[in-house]
Amino acid sequence: MEHMPPMLAHLNELAAGLFVVVALGIVATRQVRACLKFFVLQSFFLASSALLLGLAASSAHLMAVAAINVGAKVVLLPWLLRRLLKDEVYTRREITQVVSVPISLIIALGLIVAAYFFTLPWLDAVSATGACRINVPVGLTGLFLGAYTLANRREALPQLLGLLAMENGAFFAGVAIAPDLPLIAELALAFDILVVAFVVGVLTRAVHEHTGTTVVGALDELREGGGE
Amino acid sequence: MILVAIISIPIVAAVFSAFSRDNRTPGILTLASATAVLGLSIRTVSMLLSNSGHVVVGVPHWLAVDALSALILLLVALVTFTASIFSIGYMDFEKSGGVRRYHVNFNLFVFSMLAVPLIQEPNLVWVAVELTTLFSVLLVGFAGTRGALEAAWKYVVLTLMGAAIALLGFMVLYWAAHHAGASRYSWGGLAVLSPKMPPVLLKAAFVLILVGFGAKIGLVPLHTWLPDAHSQAPTPVCALLSGVETTVVLYVILRLVPVVAPVQSIHADTWMAVFGLVSVGVAAFLLLAVRDYKRLFAFSTVEHMGIILVAVGLGGTAARESALIQALAHSVTKSFCFYAAGSVLLLAGTTKIASIKGLMKRSPVAGAALLFGGLAIAGAPPFAVFLGEFSIIRTGIAKGEYLVTGLLVLFIAIAFFAIMNHVSRMVFGAADDAEKALEAPRPLPNICVAALLLAVVPVALFGVYIPEPLGNLITLAAAALGHGG
Amino acid sequence: MTNRVLFNILQALVVLCFSPLVVGILNRLKEIVQSKRGPSVFQPYRDLLKLFSKDEVVPEESTWIFRVTPYISFVAPIFVALLIPVLTDYPLFWAFMADMVGAGFVLALAGFFATLAAVDTGNPYGPMGASRTRMVGFLAEPIFLLVFFTVSFVADSTIPFIVQQKWVHPISNFFAPSHILLLIAFLMLILAEKGRLPVDNPSGHFELAMIDESKDLEYSGPSAALMKWGGWMKFMVLMIVFLNVLLTPWGLASTLDWSAVLLAIPLVLLKVLGFVIFLVLIESSLAKLRLFRISEFMSAAFVIAVVAMLTSAFSW
């Protein structure tokens, strides 16, 4: 990990940069379907980073992680969501957002910078070199941007994607800083992602059947002093 | 082997419930599985104690139980047992569809909660915690009403968001352990290595996990989902969510205490005390404002989680021991409170405090249970919660932490006043005639009464007498919370 | 020395002569993608010939600005063509005059005059289109600057000839995230600046929806020819900057040698052809954005440029 060939290092940086850009895409895009595509791309870049680090360290383990990621998030997850959420949820619709797109993007840029300065002391503490210096700040960025998506979106599916993007961020840091987690843990994590998608999908369908909409941000009946 | 059995029994029960033909079998299966798990858990605890607190290993490096996890295991098993009894009566009474679905989810939920204390690999523990959310979400939204779905949505979104933050925390923890030269990543290994880990990383990991899982146990400011979820779910599930799910997640945070407490620069004690105090304070004032008695008990959960964190934050073996007593007391009492609340709901059909009056006259059992539960959870002597809170305050004063202890006493007093104010308004007084006419006299199912009676035993007992094996277990668990493992 | 001057003139001539052909190929390809035959690739030349041989009509209310603008629009891209690496990877005689920021200013000057001229006519459609062009321009300007600053930050220079070497030596630099992200941002800029889809529809003839095309609505005869030709050259200059400086700095002459420089002409045209095909694919698969969505398109480009800058600043 410490001495990556420059080509792999640059490719990993590229994966990191594109990872951030698609995270911004998830923040900003107006269509539910595009949001899902961005998420799939993000997972793909996560897998590429795992693969590149695996190549650099000649670690079959990391390559397996890449394969698991592709299988679970690039192939199975969109299929699962497509099965669960039929066209009515999926239609090309502009998503309502709390904060407008350009302001969201500015905030997102601030979060990127913040993530970098948050992680700087961590990196210095272990005098990290190589991939860690890239993957950790980018991972935290992914986490932040996912959380922002979650807060800013009012539709069900984009909120779910924000959640999964947060986990992607954690994984992105993970492939560099925890490269040899037991494979069973990796499998469990991938399984977990699918369960998340399944459960939230079922819940979304229930919400849609019950209220005729998937704008979960409009659900605000329960609160103190309020009530029916 | 016994540990493998404990976590596989609920799965087996879930599978069989899924394939059962009629509506009664799943309930009986659930009860049978809960009984078996309780029996095996008691057996595990006795093995542990007879071995003077040595770790009981299930699968080397993966499944094992020490005193702390045994205590949590016991709590989960105990509350699951009473909840499964109450479930039978509750589901009969509700007559809503989806009995099978309910029991499948119930058993899976129990499985995930049992897995948390048993698993040794922190990343898998994270997965187990995440599964506790995922398997309980559909139970929270079980009623399918707008409110239930809203609660389920908030629950899943906020807790999974917290979980993602905690995941990064675990990754950073792994990084720190790796840097300190760990070959294996397990709870025990972490505590041994902590002096060698870079404090900055350790602190980052701890704060990320505290904030992330703090969402799951309802720490302010990520507490907003908790009263919704804990009040909209079916009653037995409320008991599990409020009584043990929170405790189970708290256990994961407590697991980090021996790792981070020895490192001075992290100020882990301060973090926990501040988070805890803020939660207790906010919960105390929100308790004054509630209008729904299930939310009342849910906010009381936020309060109790805060109290336990403050206690752990005080530091020292005595404080840790009283924190564990408080956790024990909270689990048994809160589950009882929800059974009481559930009984009231079955009778009155509403969860609004204002619409219920003179409960004592209408149903002495439900009224007495609610009064009893209210007193017990608010911390009146001689109940278990009182014992826990009293010993926490005593340790706080002994340690000279006057500010923290003083605030804690103030908040507990406010909460006490709030809970008793609401409960007494419901229990006493004359029943409105209009109310009476409106509601058909439905008798409480016998099985619910049985669950209430069973659940009340530990509530009453632990306040005056903690059985010696249990006392030993708590002492050992408190020792495990100290550093060095 | 003589060669440097001659090559520099040749360079400007290449842009001058081949830009109509590039646009002709682009239009033909678009038609072919839409299953039509389309006009000949030499149609733009015929258009120019036709326009040059026609009489010119000038609005009565217009001032000297209206009359001067075509010449500025025509000369500015030629001037820029003298500065940038079109055929050679070493600076030629006039390259000292300005760096990339300077070239950007020269192109912006042409745009500025085109706007003034559109307002100058008093025709209602002109100012409307001009104000839209300016809106896009205002949004594009900060991105242009960001791109240039990032480039200069990475390469420690704003001279295109130095920048161009930086990305490919060593070749792994090509995959630096700042490079790839800059490419994306710059591509979006070209689309916006030259009024291509999805920002503007270049083949639309409906005045109300026009953005970029509307500014030469009032011109006729030779002035119209100059305006059009200038626009095409600007398009080609932007493409060449994109290709020769940022994307594929290969195939350029590296010696002061006639054969090498002459060989570079077809190679550069080949690259431009490849880019044109890519552009056709983009334009055929996207719909035009609504006017107020353009700011979002531009903010996406802006954000990508900022991320590019951050990646190099944080040395990801």
CA distances from B205 to A2, A185, B212, B259 (A): 23, 18, 10, 11
Nearest to C106 by CA among C77, C131, C140, C136: C77
**What does the alpha-carbon distance between residue C42 and residue C16 come to, in Å, rounded to a whole number?**
14
Residues in chain B within 8 Å Cβ distance of A195: 131, 134
Q: Do A224 and B204 touch (CB under 8 A)?
A: no
Q: Is residue A19 part of a domain?
A: yes
In this prediction, residue B128 carries a pLDDT of: 94
Residues in chain C within 8 Å Cβ distance of A109: 303, 306-307, 310
Q: Is residue A73 part of a domain?
A: yes
Are residues A210 and A85 in contact, defined by beta-carbon separation less than 8 angstroms?
A: no
Are residues C162 and C155 in contact, defined by beta-carbon separation less than 8 angstroms?
A: yes
Buried b (16+ CB within 10 A) or exposed e, B236-248: bbbbbbbbbbbbb
In this prediction, residue A88 carries a pLDDT of: 61
Q: Is residue A92 part of a domain?
A: yes
Nearest to A193 by CA among A42, A32, A26: A42
**What does the alpha-carbon distance between residue C140 and residue C185 come to, in Å, rounded to a whole number?**
10
Q: Do A163 and B151 touch (CB under 8 A)?
A: no
In this prediction, residue B438 carries a pLDDT of: 47
Domain range for A115 is 6-177+184-217
Considering A18-32, A207-221, B102-116, the range whose residues carry the highest mean pLDDT is B102-116
pLDDT 10s digits, B112-128 = 999 999 999 899 999 99
- The mean-pLDDT minimum among B36-45, B256-265, C97-106, C155-164 falls in C155-164
Residue A140 at interface with chain C, using a CB cutoff of 8 Å: no
In this prediction, residue C215 carries a pLDDT of: 72
In this prediction, residue C193 carries a pLDDT of: 77
Assess whether pLDDT exceeds 60 at residue B244.
Answer: yes
In the Cβ-directed half-sphere of B257, how many Cα atoms lie within 13 Å? 31
Are residues B234 and B139 in contact, defined by beta-carbon separation less than 8 angstroms?
A: yes
In this prediction, residue B351 carries a pLDDT of: 85
> Other C-beta atoms within 10 Å of B355: how many?
15
The yes-or-no reply on B/C contact (3 CB pairs or more, < 8 Å) is no
The alpha carbon of residue A54 is apart from the nearest alpha carbon of chain C, in Å, by 18
pTM of the model: 0.89
- Annotate B125-186 with three-state secondary structure: HHHHHHHHHHHHHHHHCCCCCHHHHHHHHHHHHHHHHHHHHHHHHHHHHHHHHHHCCCCCCC
Q: Is residue A224 part of a domain?
A: no
Task: Average the pLDDT over A193-211 and give the result.
Answer: 87
Q: Is residue A163 part of a domain?
A: yes
**What does the alpha-carbon distance between residue A210 and residue B152 come to, in Å, rounded to a whole number?**
13
Nearest to A133 by CA among A9, A7, A8: A9
pLDDT 10s digits, B322-361 = 999 999 999 999 999 999 998 888 888 888 888 888 888 8
**What does the alpha-carbon distance between residue C15 and residue C8 come to, in Å, rounded to a whole number?**
11
pLDDT 10s digits, B278-328 = 999 999 999 999 989 999 999 999 999 999 999 999 988 889 999 999 999
Element (H, E) at B241: none
DSSP string, B192-222: HHGGGS-HHHHHHHHHHHHHHHHHHTT-TTT
Domains of chain C: which residue ranges? 2-313
Name the pLDDT band for B441 (thresholds 50, 70, 90): low
In this prediction, residue C209 carries a pLDDT of: 66
Low-confidence ranges of chain C (pLDDT < 70): 203-210, 316
**What does the alpha-carbon distance between residue C99 and residue C155 come to, in Å, rounded to a whole number?**
13
Provide the sign of the torsion angle of the four alpha carbons A66, A71, A75, A76, taken in this order: negative
Lookup: tokens for A59: 């670690």
Provide the sign of the torsion angle of the four alpha carbons C243, C248, C254, C260, taken in this order: negative
The alpha carbon of residue A114 is apart from the nearest alpha carbon of chain C, in Å, by 12
In this prediction, residue B353 carries a pLDDT of: 87
In this prediction, residue A228 carries a pLDDT of: 36
In this prediction, residue C207 carries a pLDDT of: 66
**What does the alpha-carbon distance between residue C179 and residue C163 come to, in Å, rounded to a whole number?**
11
CA distances from B250 to A87, B43, B309 (A): 41, 24, 8
Element (H, E) at B367: helix B364-378
Are residues A163 and B165 in contact, defined by beta-carbon separation less than 8 angstroms?
A: no
The alpha carbon of residue B127 is apart from the nearest alpha carbon of chain A, in Å, by 6
Residues of chain B with pLDDT > 70: what percent? 96
Per-window interface: B 328-367 vs A, CB < 8 A: 352
Return mean pLDDT, chain B.
89
Q: Where are the alpha helices (DSSP H) in C84-220?
A: 100-120, 125-155, 160-166, 177-193
Name the pLDDT band for A149 (thresholds 50, 70, 90): very high
- Residue B61: DSSP 8-state: T
Element (H, E) at C249: none
pLDDT 10s digits, B54-102 = 788 888 888 999 999 999 999 999 999 999 999 988 887 665 568 888 9
Lookup: tokens for C140: 């594009």
- Residue B357: DSSP 8-state: -
In this prediction, residue B69 carries a pLDDT of: 93
In this prediction, residue A91 carries a pLDDT of: 66
Name the pLDDT band for B484 (thresholds 50, 70, 90): very low
Task: Average the pLDDT over B143-164 and give the result.
Answer: 91
Name the pLDDT band for B437 (thresholds 50, 70, 90): very low
**What does the alpha-carbon distance between residue B211 and residue B218 come to, in Å, rounded to a whole number?**
10
Nearest to B372 by CA among B456, B279, B305: B456
**What does the alpha-carbon distance between residue B239 and residue B301 come to, in Å, rounded to a whole number?**
11
Name the pLDDT band for A92 (thresholds 50, 70, 90): low
The tally of domains found in chain A comes to 1
Element (H, E) at A130: none
Q: Do C315 and A112 touch (CB under 8 A)?
A: no
Are residues C309 and C62 in contact, defined by beta-carbon separation less than 8 angstroms?
A: no
Assess whether pLDDT exceeds 70 at residue B431.
Answer: no
**What does the alpha-carbon distance between residue B225 and residue A218 come to, in Å, rounded to a whole number?**
15
Per-window interface: A 68-107 vs B, CB < 8 A: none
In this complex, how many residue pairs, one in chain A and one in chain C, have their CB atoms less than 8 Å apart?
77
Per-window interface: C 273-302 vs A, CB < 8 A: 295-296, 299-300, 302
pLDDT 10s digits, A63-74 = 999 999 999 999
Nearest to B79 by CA among B236, B260, B218: B236
Q: Is residue A188 part of a domain?
A: yes
Buried b (16+ CB within 10 A) or exposed e, C261-278: beebbeebeebbbebbee
CA distances from A199 to B108, B128, B238, B364 (A): 13, 15, 19, 41
**What does the alpha-carbon distance between residue B371 and residue B82 come to, in Å, rounded to a whole number?**
19
Chain B, nearest residue to A155 by Cα:
B153
Residue B149 at interface with chain A, using a CB cutoff of 8 Å: yes
In this prediction, residue A226 carries a pLDDT of: 44
The alpha carbon of residue B248 is apart from the nearest alpha carbon of chain A, in Å, by 19
Q: B440 φ, ψ to 5°?
A: -75, 140
Task: Average the pLDDT over B236-249 and give the result.
Answer: 94
**CB neighbour class for A2 (10 Å; exposed up to 12, middle 13-18, buried from 19):** exposed
Q: Across the interface, which of A125, A167, A221 has its CB nearest the CB of B200?
A: A125
In this prediction, residue C161 carries a pLDDT of: 82
Assess whether pLDDT exceeds 80 at residue A129.
Answer: no
Angle formed at CA B230 by CA B226 and CA B232, multiple of 5 degrees: 120
Domains of chain B: which residue ranges? 2-481
User: Residue C249 carries which side chain, given as an amino acid letter?
Assistant: P
Q: Across the interface, which of A126, A169, A216 has its CB nearest the CB of B153?
A: A216
